Structure 1
């Protein structure tokens, strides 16, 4: 299998269906071997049932779409992604995730995946809102906050990645299996933890500029970024299991 792709979901049944359908269409047209899994992050029974109905409507046409995996309680985005990746077939070359809101479109997701498959010497390939070729539709205040966060990460950790938090990443499965037990972040710190672990282990990585569109209903509010920023300043990313 070329890639096992996880879509983490927290109360996403109201908006994920359109994106999921587009993603299935793009995967089907790509002629790549891809498994696609929605992981519900403890949203509750009614939400899980709604996701299962969405998947049921699509599975006849897209058999690579797996049954929904439901976590028993809400742990965070990072925990949901890791839980999904651990269900991947052992022959998966890459593991990936993409946010359920569709801010990185289905076509852009598959494009980044193709780049990751072509560059076999890399073990982490990331969609980026700041790399060459990126086009971003975003409010001014969020642009400023994102730029400030990136500058802080570079100052504290010395990370040269331009955009650590864009919600579409692909990792080498063998690398993940080797280091998965060392990954501890439950929530939005998982993206940065992946990057730090990649650097620590000498894992080559690259950013791919994408078209990114801000979508209403984001789960990443300014308070979330503030809390994540405090953990960065305290150098606690990867040191504690926090949402």
Structure 2
């Protein structure tokens, strides 16, 4: 009577492991093939974009130079801070967020002559009157303008369009729901100045600072529903396994960039929906760009556009594909042509 020896068992386990790997790779190939992405061209980021309902057909600035062979990959800044706020059907929440944002910026500009800024609300194909509400608010606020997209691109696509039409040395994107206290910008600013060597700010230094919520440190103040907490922790586990190792909270909508790294990273992004933050930080880690986390005050606001189950499944799929497509060379980190 024949018995399996240790060598036979090792061989059998090897076969099983090989088959499991083959099935996994095959599944990823199939998933990648079935999940399309939009391949943006450089010319899209250089097209003139008009300020929505501006009286003199005012145009937004361009982050990228016309000549792709230019010595610098970005145009010179004309203000200190650009604030990018993506908004899609935010007519009920945008006013509260803008009050908090404008109050801080206007007060600081009054006491610091060199603190210049712009606020760009990117209307991501809203079907409500979000853009018109912001235009009305702008009549009593300073340096507030609307970039209205013709169609919905997703949060990542909206942020990207705002960034590539910004003029700041520093570029901050913030969520329209006002979940983060805008005054916490100073905490991110201090960290990015520390990384870049202090004042005056060197916009050519590549540095990123991301806001982070309660799970990172007790100094953060956050309130989140139990269901969302469970989903967030599951997502963070997948992020750690497949994409980002240095940052614990990739999804907080409060991130600050120097102009140079914004010009390098944002045009490269392939993901334009919720998981774009993960690809953004993945690229920074790949390039060894300094990325820091700073605690911010955060509170969950009703009206989130994330569908609890479906959106998280999409995000999980996308972050696995970020890892797979870059590893397989399907995606590159080269500037778009």
TMscore range, shorter length: 0.7 to 0.9
Given candidates 118, 128, 132, the residue that maps to 2:212 is 128
How far 1:118 moved relative to its partner? 4.4
CA RMSD of the aligned region, Å? 2.1
Q: Secondary structure at the match of 1:211?
A: coil
Tell me the equivalent position of 1:5: 83
- 1:35 pairs with 2:115: no
TM-score (norm 2): 0.64
Tell me the equivalent position of 1:164: 250
How far 1:110 moved relative to its partner? 4.6
Q: For residues 3 and 33 of structure 1, what CA distance do their matches in structure 2 show?
A: 6
Q: For residues 219 and 53 of structure 1, what CA distance do their matches in structure 2 show?
A: 19
CA-to-partner distance for each residue in 1:7-32, whole Å, 9 max, x for gaps? 00010011110110111001112233
Q: For residues 109 and 102 of structure 1, what CA distance do their matches in structure 2 show?
A: 13
Tell me the equivalent position of 1:85: 163
Query: Where do 1:5-84 residues align within 5 Å?
Result: 5-31=83-109, 32-44=115-127, 46-47=128-129, 50-60=130-140, 62-66=141-145, 68-84=146-162
Q: Check conservation: 2:242, 2:320, Cα contact below 8 A.
A: yes
Q: Secondary structure at the match of 2:222?
A: strand
Q: Secondary structure at the match of 1:8?
A: strand
Question: Is the deviation greater in 128-137 or in 168-177?
Answer: 128-137
- 1:145 pairs with 2:231: yes
Tell me the equivalent position of 1:224: 311
Q: After TM superposition, what 4+ stretches of structure 1 lie above 6 angstroms from structure 2?
A: 237-240
How many residues are aligned here?
Answer: 233
How far 1:233 moved relative to its partner? 3.2
Higher strand share: 1
Larger radius of gyration: 2
Q: For residues 54 and 178 of structure 1, what CA distance do their matches in structure 2 show?
A: 30
Q: Secondary structure at the match of 2:298?
A: strand
TM-score (norm 1): 0.87
How far 1:156 moved relative to its partner? 1.8
Q: Check conservation: 2:212, 2:296, Cα contact below 8 A.
A: yes
Change (3 A) 1:105 1:236: farther
Q: For residues 81 and 192 of structure 1, what CA distance do their matches in structure 2 show?
A: 14
Q: Check conservation: 2:160, 2:267, Cα contact below 8 A.
A: no
How far 1:151 moved relative to its partner? 1.4
- In structure 1, list runs of 5 or more residues that go unmatched: none
Q: Check conservation: 1:77, 1:188, Cα contact below 8 A.
A: yes
